[in-house]
Homo-oligomer: A and B are copies of this chain.
Amino acid sequence: MDIHQLRIFTSIYRNRSFTKASVELCLTQPTVSDHIKTLEEEFECRLFDRLGRTIMPTKAAGVLYVQAMDIIEKADSLKTILGELKKDVTGELVIGASTIPGTYLMPGIMAAFQGKYPAVSFNLPISGSGEIINKVLRYELLLGIVGSRLDNDQINYSSFMDDELVVLAAPFLVVEEEITLEELVSLPIVLREEGSGTRKETVKILEGKGISLKNMKITGIFGSTEAVKQAVKAGIGVSILSRLAVADELERKTLREIKIRGIEMKRKFYVATRKRRTLPTAYNVFLEHFMAGTKII
């Protein structure tokens, strides 16, 4: 049995004629006859009584017609359903993010997106960059937003936004507005723990300038960005954090930015996806919105 055969059957049933059905389906009459014969043999029951010039559907045909139409309609709707899926921006978007973008960037973007597509909801697991990327690798996440790359040929990174690392001090700390790199090294410093993306990027940039952490006076190591901020405010030392994370404090002047002469500490945020995976439409639409919305910043 075959959907095609069911279509032929239902056409005959409606038209009360093999010939008319063959016209409707753009087939020849013998083809139509043959398929009905096949169906009758398979179901072991006559479907149409051939009365010479006319035909009469049997009771079995009446029963089959309803069932067959059911199947045909379901089959036809498949294409529509899968087509709609391509336009369908609904459901839960699970997007992993590392600490800085997850805390200070994504919530705002997600809120804006949800204003545009109210049918979506968000799930935003936040961990370190490395863990996020690992989950993308292990198919546990479709999308990760990270501030640090972990080289792996299975991951596609696309950078979408420049971030800046700024040196921060307590407002009361007696330091120039702009200092030299050498002066920075002489200051007491507080940092995130090892493994943090922000710390990793900071170290990378400093080492690029020929400075090792070992040459610096580390007065505190803290497990979260907020803790580091509190430590800086308390005067334990200066620190280097993402501008994104301290925008508020700089505005309210509870933290002070110290420029380094002739140096800009840039880093990038990345969207991480696994190679060869197909993103559902909602994710793609979100990414589009996301890329467009963050480029300007």
Contacts and interface: CB of A to CB of B under 8 A. Distances in A.
B85 A59 contact: yes
Contact of A82 (B4, B60, B71): B60
A51 interface: yes
Interface string A30-64: 00000000000011111001111000101110011
Interface stretch (A100-108, A186-194, A249-257, A275-283): A275-283
A22 to B, nearest CB: 21
Contact of A75 (B51, B71, B79, B86): B71
A64 B77 CA distance: 11
Nearest to A48: B278
B63 A85 contact: yes
Q: How many identical chains are in the complex?
A: 2
Interface string A1-22: 1111000000000000000000
Nearest to A275: B51
A51 B85 CA distance: 23
A70 B63 contact: no
Given A50-B276, A75-B71, A64 B45 contact: no
Name the prevailing secondary structure of the A interface residues.
Answer: helix
12 contacts: A1-B3, A1-B75, A1-B78, A2-B2, A42-B79, A43-B79, A44-B86, A45-B82, A50-B276, A56-B277, A59-B85, A63-B82
A276 B51 contact: yes
A12 to B, nearest CB: 15
A217 interface: no
A107 to B, nearest CB: 25
A139 interface: yes
A216 interface: no
Given A70-B74, A78-B64, A2 B3 contact: yes
A81 interface: yes
Nearest to A72: B71
A67 interface: yes
A86 B1 contact: no
A152 to B, nearest CB: 14
Nearest to A59: B280
Q: Which among A4, A43, A139 has the highest number of chain B CB atoms within 10 Å?
A: A43
A83 B45 CA distance: 8
